[in-house]
Structure 1
Amino acid sequence: MDILNDPARVQEVQKQERIRKQQESRFSAKFNECVGIYLLLLGSAIAVAALYGQWLTGQTNGWSVYVSGAAGWLCMYTLLHKYFPRWTWGGYGPLTPIKKAMLVTSCDTMLGYYMVKRLDWICTIFAGTKNPDGELPKRLLKECSNRIVILPLDVTSDESVTQATKIMEQHLIRRNHDLWGIFNNASVTVRGEVEWTPVDIFKQLAEVNIYGMVRITKACLPLIRKNQGRIVNMHDRHGRFTVPGCAAYGMTKYAAESFSDALRYEMHQWGVKVCALEINKNFNGIHDVIKGGDLWDSLDEKSMRHYGRTYYDNRTSSWERERESGDSDLREIVTAAFDGLLSRVPRQRYYIGGIGPMIKTYLYSTMPSGLLDKLIGKQYSSGTIPLALDR
């Protein structure tokens, strides 16, 4: 059969030809990029060598120093602008959020409340909240401009997320705006040892911290992708290493790390930036909390006898003291989220809590397990042991 008389075969050949040309174009672009890097590095090296040679021989003059220095700085700046644009003048400063809208989830927490207030003066904000009649949503309506839209949103419900997406699309069309960014802020936590924590609690945390993030992202991704926007996800140091009493919460944060990494890789070709906010110390007002004291009644009689109420109370009271000692100043988190949403060149990861906690998180997540076991066991000891072992 003649190929020209077979439309399906013609389309297949044309498709293969397009693929071949795309591959050649990509190879050519990569080759030119490598050549450009080589020339920039070579120019920088020649400029440095010229300066060093003139200094070594003592044969320096003003013009040679100026020309060599300018050539070196120009090459290095061009290299930085290409691969590290945040370090250059072109990557400095926020974007102009003209006709842009943001979605902030969990605005019935203090972090969501402060984030909405920070964004209020520059763009339209959809303030997602499970309880629109709550205290904080009412305060937002009273204290903020008419750019705020209180959005009934339960991240654990597919129906609620679908309905919220429809409401957002209606507002975007009416205001002629585009959805630019999402701040996935919804989070719930609990402290309790694995044996104390019912499976339903594990599921509850996963529904909010994992599947809630996935639901919101998937529902809004077509709008974000269309506008090459931003997605900012809340992470935690317990997604890098886990401590006693933090299994249910920590496993959701490990999953969040994987989700954000994969999403960032996949969205790169679309021009969408995905940022992670890693919390490296305790903060108050960023989670809904399930108190560990409520878990005692879920234990069976055998477990109650083995652990003993004294051990249980000591563990839960130490966790409660740790939670109450958290920092209530959320400005660092709000500033990082703002930068992730509106910076010209956002970071892939923002470390929250200072240099000390950041170094601690890095060391704990990379040190040998044997050494980490000793450090964690010593640091998180409550001073008592289970009743069954105290014999």
Structure 2
Amino acid sequence: MKLPDTMKAVVLTGHGGLDRLEWREDVPVPRPGAGEVLIRVGAAAVNNTDVNTRTGWYSKSVRGDTGSAAAEGYDGASDADGGWSGALSFPRIQGADCCGRIVAMGEGVDPTREGERVLVRPMYRPEGGDADALVTFGSERDGGFAEYTTIGAENAVRIDSPLSDVELATFPCAFSTAEGMIQRAGLGAERVLITGASGGVGSAAVQLAKRRGAHVTAMTSPAKRDALTALGADATLGRDDAFPESAFDVVLDLVGGPRWPGPLDALAIGGRYVTSGAIAGPIVELDLRTLYLKDLTLIGSTRQDPRVFADLVRYIEAGEIRPVVSQTHPLHELRAAQEAFLGKSHMGKIGIEISDGA
């Protein structure tokens, strides 16, 4: 097919408020390099990491929650460490989620892949990079908030599913984050508490924990309890309820903040605590006696084994997990979509539809 010279995209011009997201219709269409493919993006979705990167919340100079200044940006956030892995280069096209079709291939890519429907692996180790190197789609390289995007061919993973592009686009970032947490915890048929359970990662964790045979307790607002029960939660706790003492083998915590160390109090002896987010604030208080007297294990979870995304695609194709899409916006309404995301009244994910009209 003949490719256009320019495309529509939302471009992040720097750390700050929603005004840093600029709608443009003259962005050059990227060309795939050796070993890469060009994808015509069908849909993307909104994630906490998109918002946190925009605001510079990852900077160690920011000590508050992820939402209090997310519309305006955080005063004092440092450009030197405003991205999750350090400094970010601008302008940047964000969007950690992407579903689309391959429309062109770079040198060395099998030409029969043209037309393939794919999901983009949101995190990967660059070829030739050291063991700790990691690239996040939409952060260290341009992502899915555009009509076209490029990625290494091995990270454009074929998907065979009757689900829509928007539905599929809600899986990659949130579900791979949740599956990474669960795999690090070694979760089996055990008692697990999931905080922030109504969000994208939390609702994914509910489903993924259930498929492993766990007894799932979801912590959420009262208005979302029924929806989480329908997703598979065996029990629910209000987000302001007291943490039950020594009641769980594993806690998957996405919240952090002032309710700490409640999640540790809730763990049984030998329990495992896994965190991959801190929407209520990153600075917490820890009584070391709780940690060592209960023989607890504390686990941080960001980097993912390649099998995480491969497993996720397999679960989708087998119909073992389902998308939770609360609303959908066109790409040119990305600011409005992020405003809705920050309101936290939604359940699951907010999709971004990217069509010819964007």
Which structure would you say has the larger Rg? 1
TM-score (normalised: structure 2): 0.29
Higher strand proportion, which one?
Answer: 2
TM-score (normalised: structure 1): 0.27
Higher relative contact order (CA closer than 8 Å, sequence separation 6+)? 2
